[in-house]
Amino acid sequence: MTELLMPLLKISLVIFMAGNLMDMGLRLDATEALRGLRHVRFVVLTLLWAFLLVPALAYGIAHVIPLDEPYALGLVLLGLAPCAPFVPALVAKGNGDLGFTAAFMLLTAVGTVILMPLAVPVLAKGLTVTAWSVAKPLLVMVLIPLAIGMAIRRVSVDRADRLLPIVKKAAAVAAVAVGLLCIVIYGKGMLSLGGSFAVASQCLFFAIVAAATYFTAVGMRHEERIVLSVGLTTRNIGAALAPLLAVPDTGQEAALMVVLALPLMVVFAQLSVKLFGRRAAVNAPATDVSGA
């Protein structure tokens, strides 16, 4: 059964990832993205956390907590793949700056395609891959769809707006297919993860990332800090799975670890939105209405 369903999962995952990244490109306002990219502190913190500190944290947790090697591999791959495609919806819920969100997603998408192929062969012990075998699916699922969407919007905003509902529906159908296939293929294995420290290690990972990325953004507004917290707490499941799907006969445990992250990261991202949003509201200066 798994042998029959795995090709369907790969196809659905490609459509889901490519559709979401094309959706992002079709929506991406270059002016708004440039506003975020001109904020030096925001760019530095994004790159520092996304491609150095969070991968180092995942690697450290994977080797401090007694995880079996495949689960440790899954956690390391998650650490190398920042930013889920649905980040804008969560950021909007947390009253974040969507212009900075566009800049964040652009930085992390391009950075993942460049740095993940270099980092995986070094950090992902137990996974024999070349840089190109990692880069190839990332190009197909991340960079090329994003570039196509941006190019269409640059040529014609009206055409981009007409294509957007079609791309969004295709990505939504693929998302449902990915979810159902993951349940069928990995569901039984996920129920057996309780005693492997997998859940505990991921909860620790997401809790540290959510809090540390928000509180280290000193001097930035809540609207910008919540982008970092939510964007870095969520993980790009498709990018994390790409190296595993590129290598035949890879053990299912590493893929299970990656799939397990989906509900956990949503929970911790939602907590980040609620807790830090409430904190920002409490700390906001009161409006002076005495002269109204």
Residue 99: per-residue pLDDT? 84
Residue 290: inside a domain, yes or no?
no
- Alpha carbon distances (Å) from 57 to 161, 167, 204, 209, 269: 40, 35, 10, 9, 18
Separation between Cα atoms, residue 169 and residue 175, nearest integer Å: 10
Residue 264: inside a domain, yes or no?
yes
Does pLDDT of 194 surpass 60? no
Mean predicted confidence (pLDDT) in 138-148:
85
Residue 289: per-residue pLDDT? 38
Write down the pTM of the prediction: 0.85
Share of the chain above pLDDT 70, in %: 89
Does pLDDT of 198 surpass 80? yes
- Alpha carbon distances (Å) from 175 to 17, 42, 81, 242, 273: 9, 30, 18, 16, 23
- Burial (CB count <10 Å: 0-12, 13-18, 19+), residue 240: buried
Residue 259 belongs to domain with CATH number: 1.20.1530.20
Mean predicted confidence (pLDDT) in 134-139:
83
Please provide the average confidence, as pLDDT, over all residues in the chain. Answer: 85
Residue 7: inside a domain, yes or no?
yes
64-68, 84-88, 193-197, 223-227: range with lowest mean pLDDT: 193-197
Does pLDDT of 248 surpass 90? no
Residue 28: inside a domain, yes or no?
yes
pLDDT of 99-111, one tens digit each?
A: 899 899 889 989 9
Residue 285: inside a domain, yes or no?
no
Residue 284: per-residue pLDDT? 61
Does pLDDT of 192 surpass 50? yes
List the domain range (segments joined by +) for residue 225. Answer: 2-280
Locus of tokens 């540290």:
208
Q: How many structural domains is the chain composed of?
A: 1
Residue 286: inside a domain, yes or no?
no
Does pLDDT of 208 surpass 50? yes
pLDDT of 24-62, one tens digit each?
A: 888 877 777 788 889 999 999 999 999 999 999 999 999
Does pLDDT of 120 surpass 70? yes
Contact of 214 with 226, CB cutoff 8 Å: yes
Residue 154 — pLDDT band, cuts 50, 70, 90?
Answer: confident
Residue 244: per-residue pLDDT? 82
Contact of 147 with 26, CB cutoff 8 Å: no
Retrieve residue 207's tokens.
Answer: 């809790």
Angle between helices 69-79 and 198-215 (to 10 degrees): 20
Does pLDDT of 191 surpass 70? no
Residue 112 — pLDDT band, cuts 50, 70, 90?
Answer: very high
Check residue 235 and report its DSSP letter.
Answer: B
Residue 142: inside a domain, yes or no?
yes
pLDDT of 67-103, one tens digit each?
A: 888 889 999 999 999 998 888 888 988 889 988 998 9
Q: Residue 281, CB half-sphere, CA atoms under 13 Å: how many?
A: 9
Residue 288: inside a domain, yes or no?
no
Residue 290: per-residue pLDDT? 38
